[in-house]
Amino acid sequence: MTLLLTEQQIALAPKVLLHDHLDGGLRPQTMIEHALASGYTKLPSYDPEKLAKWFVEACSSGTLELYLETFEHTISVMQTRDEIIRVARECVIDLAADGVVYAEVRGAPELFTRKGLDLDQVIEATVEGFNQGMAEVAHNGKKIRVEHILCALRQNYVSEEVATKVVKYKGRGVVGFDIAGPEAGFPPTDHIKAFNYLRENGAHYTIHAGEAFGIESIALAVRECGAERIGHGIRLIDDIDFSSGEPKLGSLAQEILDNQVCLEMAPTSNLQTGGAASYATHQIGVMKKLGFNVTLNTDNRLMSATSMIREAREIATGYSWTMDDLHDVARNGIYSAFIDDDEQEDIYQSQIKAVYDRL
């Protein structure tokens, strides 16, 4: 019988986070303070516990579209340089407390320009906040590295401009690009010029696909757009036939398995948007057994009232994962990160393997 991991073991386990949205991870108290200071009067509650509860309930509608509507509140209190810096700094501190040693946190800079900031100022404020957070964590005796992924929204068509910012800030706190937003009606191929530009300039990119839409969105992301990683990708399970008892992979699933395309999975978020029925049946467990390059992620910590500790605990319980399984997904994460191979190897050996060997 497999012994369940303890909360302490899960907390101590080094974690790698590749899919986390900055505007989906604010502390409720920070939101309230920013709203009061800026005159934003539309928060559903000005009590931190009630506000946190409201977000979870509002995001558990079972649809991605309604889930995305809640972001109006978080975005509205991230419109100045100081607000962005604070949110980014606190993000790093919270992730470090969760046992994360490496993270790529994403955000769409176009969303934070309502009060006059331009894209460059938004990006620079975010990176400054991450740097402050990393320095504070280091001062307190821990180590975490946090890099930024710039998102463009499928429905707004500013992807080419955002792609130029990825190249401009490459090596200066930005490591990649992403297309996010509602999948239905907005295929990734609408942004093919941005992907071509990124590829020509040696920049990395991931694409949200197969979260709320079918395998065709994943096929477009991988085959037409050349995605290195897939955000969520849970609908890839539909290209696997389990009817005979022996899993039979379709051509797309086989291609993604053979090429070890990283799947950035976020169980709690997927349950909220109707993409999965339970932790015990979430696609990550099945696909890990089949050898897919799966990673464990939070997506939006505020909207899901989640953390990397919670994600690991729920899946470890649901699938009877051991410490070796947590090690596997952390290793998958760091070797799929948008940093140089030698940097990946250094973090893996010194901050991941070395710790798992002791646990």
Q: How far apart are CA 32 and CA 86, in angstroms?
A: 13
Rg (CA), the chain: 19
> What DSSP letter does each residue of 92-154 carry, written as one string?
HHHHHHTTEEEEEEEE-GGGG-TTS--HHHHHHHHHHHHHHHHHHHHHTT---EEEEEEEEET
Q: What is the pLDDT of residue 65?
A: 78
- In tens, the pLDDT along 201-259 reads 999 999 999 987 889 999 999 999 999 999 999 999 999 999 998 999 999 999 999 99
For residue 101, give both structure tokens: 């040693």
Sign of the torsion formed by the C-alpha atoms of 263, 269, 274 and 276: positive
- In tens, the pLDDT along 119-168 reads 999 999 999 999 999 999 999 999 999 999 999 999 998 999 999 999 99
- In tens, the pLDDT along 252-289 reads 999 999 999 999 999 999 998 888 999 999 999 999 99
Neighbours of 233 (CB within 10 A): 30
Q: What is the pLDDT of residue 2?
A: 54
Among the ranges given (11-15, 58-62, 193-197, 219-223), the one the predictor scored with the smallest mean pLDDT: 58-62
4 pLDDT band, cuts 50/70/90, is confident
Task: State the residue for tokens 């998958």.
Answer: 332
- In tens, the pLDDT along 303-334 reads 999 999 999 999 999 999 999 999 999 999 99
Looking at the DSSP bridge assignments, the partners of residue 349 are: none
- pLDDT above 80 (res 108): yes
Q: What is the pLDDT of residue 341?
A: 98
Catalytic residue numbers read 211
- Three-state SS string over 26-79 comes to CCHHHHHHHHHHHCCCCCCCCCHHHHHHHHHHHHCCCCHHHHHHCHHHHHHCCC
Which helix (H) or strand (E) covers residue 263, if one does?
strand 262-265
